[in-house]
């Protein structure tokens, strides 16, 4: 019997969880940032300026998620650091302005920063670890963040450092239940635009800050640069996957090895299946369309046998 890994919620909501403005080091004023995302059909947006949460009101029907980006310098040269996004499940109109200083490594550890944010009730996302020059062991030893930016458009535009697939799988292989985020970052300091290039689709009944964060907490969303993930789930000893037309679909599993499926010349993939081998601790799927744009499911963790 088919069992979808998505919930039975009614709607899909599109949103960006990482955006900067002229409030700190972005080039786009807050009002224009909000207006532009609204006009592009986004349902929610988090403006995450550095070390400050400002009270941006809901405008033109777009839901604002209060948030910020916190960081710790690992060395004086700032070649290595940790950056973390914190999102609050609160209406923007009720959120007071919050500001904190930037930390140095002799003031707090990476783990202490994460602990502080989780104790504050935030949904915590590890931002662009490749750009931050974090070592794999620095990432895998951390606890307390719920998601990782598998794709960050700003870092990809700056120096081809926007992907974090390998970090993600290392965390999953350690048994950590971490979700994958695609986002923009929007510093606006490169020749190629870093807006509207990566987003998440959240499955919920209503679009409020509380409901969006609740859905993200249970992993009921997918990340994408363009491809739509229509459904995926389990049917007996198979995992099925349905998407908008794509050229490639990759089933990533551990400790068993998954598989890659490629469309034949002149054809596309919209429905594919993977036969479970037994022993998979998790399964996740990445699909890639004919333009090279990716979509990522979140992992499904409970596939232990094929019965």
What pTM value is reported for the model? 0.95
Instruction: Enter the DSSP assignment of 94.
Output: G
Q: Tell me how long the chain is.
A: 307
Closest CA to 55 of 68, 42, 66: 66
pLDDT digit string (tens) for 92-110?
888 889 999 888 878 999 9
Neighbours of 197 (CB within 10 A): 23
pLDDT at 94: 84
Cis peptide bond prior to 154, omega within 30° of 0: no
pLDDT at 215: 98
pLDDT at 303: 63
pLDDT at 39: 95
Whether residue 153 contacts residue 198, with contact meaning beta carbons closer than 8 Å, is answered with yes
Give me the residues of the chain with pLDDT under 50, please: 306-307
Domains contained in the chain, CATH given: 7-224 (3.20.20.140), 229-296 (2.60.40)
pLDDT at 239: 97
pLDDT digit string (tens) for 137-181?
999 999 999 999 999 999 999 999 999 999 999 999 999 999 999
pLDDT at 306: 45
Output the CA torsion 103→52→65→48 (10° steps).
-70
pLDDT at 100: 93
């Amino acid at each position: 019997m088919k069992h979808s890994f998505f919930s039975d919620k009614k709607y899909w909501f599109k949103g960006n969880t990482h955006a900067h403005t002229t409030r700190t080091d972005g080039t786009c004023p807050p009002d224009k940032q909000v207006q532009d995302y609204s006009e592009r059909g986004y349902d929610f947006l988090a403006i995450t300026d550095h070390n400050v949460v400002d009270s941006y009101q809901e405008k033109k029907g777009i839901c604002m998620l209060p948030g910020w980006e916190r960081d710790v310098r690992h060395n004086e040269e700032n070649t290595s650091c940790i950056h973390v996004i914190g999102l609050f499940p609160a209406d923007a109109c009720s959120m007071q302005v919050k500001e904190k200083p930037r930390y140095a490594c002799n003031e707090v550890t990476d783990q202490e920063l994460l602990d502080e944010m989780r104790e504050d009730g935030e949904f915590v996302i590890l931002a662009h670890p490749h750009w931050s020059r974090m070592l794999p062991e620095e990432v895998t030893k951390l606890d307390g963040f719920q998601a990782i930016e598998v794709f960050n458009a700003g870092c990809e535009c700056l120096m081809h450092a926007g992907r974090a697939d390998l970090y993600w799988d290392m965390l999953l292989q350690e048994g950590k239940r971490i979700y994958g985020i695609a986002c923009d970052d929007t510093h606006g300091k490169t020749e190629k635009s870093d807006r509207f290039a990566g987003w998440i689709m959240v499955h919920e009944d209503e679009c409020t800050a509380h409901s969006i964060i609740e859905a993200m907490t249970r992993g009921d969303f997918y990340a994408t640069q363009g491809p739509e993930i229509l459904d995926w789930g389990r049917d007996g000893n198979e995992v099925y996957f349905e998407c908008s037309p794509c050229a490639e679909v990759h089933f990533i599993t551990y400790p068993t090895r998954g598989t890659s499926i490629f469309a034949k010349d002149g054809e596309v993939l919209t429905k594919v299946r993977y036969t479970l081998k037994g022993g998979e601790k998790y399964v996740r799927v990445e699909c890639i369309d004919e333009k090279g744009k990716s979509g990522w499911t979140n992992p499904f963790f409970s596939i232990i046998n094929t019965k």
